[in-house]
Amino acid sequence: MLSFQNDYSEGAAPEIIEALSATNLDSQPGYGGDQYCLQAQNKIKEVMSNPNADIFFLTGGTQTNAIVIDAFLQKYQAVISADSGHINIHEAGAIEAGGHKVIALKANNGKLEPNTLKEYLLAFYQDENHPHMAQPGMVYISQPTELGTLYSKSELQQLHKITCEYHLPLYVDGARLGYSLRAPQNDISLQDLNELTDAFYIGGTKVGALCGEAVVFTHHNQPDNFLTLVKQHGGLLAKGRLLGIQFLTLFTDDLYFRLSDNAIKMAMIIKEELKKKGYRFFIDSPTNQQFIIIDNKQYQDLKEKIRLSYWEKFDNEHTVVRICTSWATTVKNVEELLRIL
């Protein structure tokens, strides 16, 4: 069946499969101590122009968020997020299960606005009872957001200024980071993320890898005993080489960016053609996630022909569905989708 359900339906970019096969019988140390992880870390530092970064490879997004947030926070601290943030909606309470509250603030088009964050923090510390509350300990945002929208560099600079003022680490979920970096409207670079955040991750699972996320602590600020904490969370791969080989491949010959370019190109074709057909969009997304509003009957009919992602109820007669392109989406896939729609 034709699938536009997500950006991880296929296995991996052929270059990654080839690299894994070619190195299959090469004996290496375990737990990320292999030469491939080291080479991948150095390659990513080079691409980011940040020799001061600490880089650690993990397997999936929810795991990464749970581990990084737990590493940054004390037991009594909470993480601030947009109410539409992935950690607040689609991670099954993983952060709370780890002992930390998610403080969900009202989002605007999927984004945590600087003014919203500032107003919350001012009100929190003006409350004389705040020592009896879960203390804000860090700020979480996604780039791109769960709605496919983008923070601007100006917005990121403002968030950075606020988090510095309140001594809160700023952490960016980059599950689809490649798709934000290659969006035409984007003005935030990897170098900007290194300057304006305390940590972020480069998503591999949704950008051509079999699995894997590269966590970047931007200024030698990887929490103490981080490997031990990763293992405590069940996230330490004995065969860490599997992640190192994939990221080394992704960051060789601009593969990561070329794969991301494909998803953006296909999404923009779909967006423009659906506009011509008169479809209503739930939000104006410049990335690989496009959200359309269709009547409930059409949605049920389409489910027989295309894998799409249910997003939310729009009203009693309409549903918001997500069309998601990926590194593997082909022109033929897009033409077939547009023929059906």
Domain ranges of the chain: 2-7+255-340, 15-250
Q: What is the CATH number of domain 15-250?
A: 3.40.640.10
Three-state DSSP class for residue 94: helix
CB 198 within 8 A of CB 172: no
Q: Domain 2-7+255-340 is of which CATH architecture?
A: Alpha-Beta Complex (3.90)
pLDDT at 274: 97
C-alpha to C-alpha distance for 119 and 112, rounded to whole angstroms: 12
- Pairing relation of β-strands 54-58 and 77-82? unpaired
Residue 330 phi/psi, 5-degree rounding, is -105, 165
Q: Write 38-45 long-range contacts (CB < 8 A, 24+).
A: 38/244, 39/244, 39/248, 40/214, 40/243, 40/244, 40/245, 40/246, 40/247, 40/248, 40/251, 41/244, 43/247, 43/248, 43/251, 43/252, 44/202, 44/214, 44/216, 44/247, 44/251
Which residues of the chain have a pLDDT value below 50?
none
CB 104 within 8 A of CB 128: no
b or e along 170-208 (b: 16 or more beta carbons within 10 Å of the residue's beta carbon)? bbbbbbbbbbbbbbeebebebeebbebbbbbbbbbbbbb
The pLDDT value given to residue 204: 98
Q: Which two tokens stand for residue 159?
A: 């968030």
Q: What percent of the chain is helix, strand and coil (3-state, nearest 5)?
A: 40, 20, 40
The span from the CA of 254 to the CA of 252, in Å, is 5
d(CA 143, CA 156): 10
Summarize pLDDT for 172-229 with one digit per residue, the tens: 999 999 999 999 999 999 999 999 999 999 999 999 999 999 999 999 999 999 999 9
Cβ contact 329:263 at 8 Å: yes
Q: pLDDT at position 210, please?
A: 98
H or E element in which residue 135 lies: strand 135-142
Q: For residue 159, what are the CA distances in angstroms to 156, 164, 166, 197, 337? A: 5, 9, 11, 9, 39
pLDDT digits (tens, 9 = 90+) for 117-157: 999 999 999 999 999 999 999 999 999 999 999 999 999 99
Q: How far apart are CA 207 and CA 153, in angstroms?
A: 23
Task: Find out whether 192 and 153 touch, Cβ atoms under 8 Å.
Answer: yes
Question: Would you state the pLDDT for residue 270?
Answer: 98
CA 32, CA 38: separation in Å to the nearest integer?
A: 8
The rounded distance, in Å, linking the Cα atoms of 211 and 219 is 25
Kindly report the length of the chain: 341
90, 174, 264 from 186: Cα distances, Å? 25, 14, 12
- Residue 259 sits at φ, ψ, to 5 deg, of -65, -40
CA distance 294 to 304: 15
Q: What does residue 280 show for φ and ψ, rounded to 5 degrees?
A: -90, 135
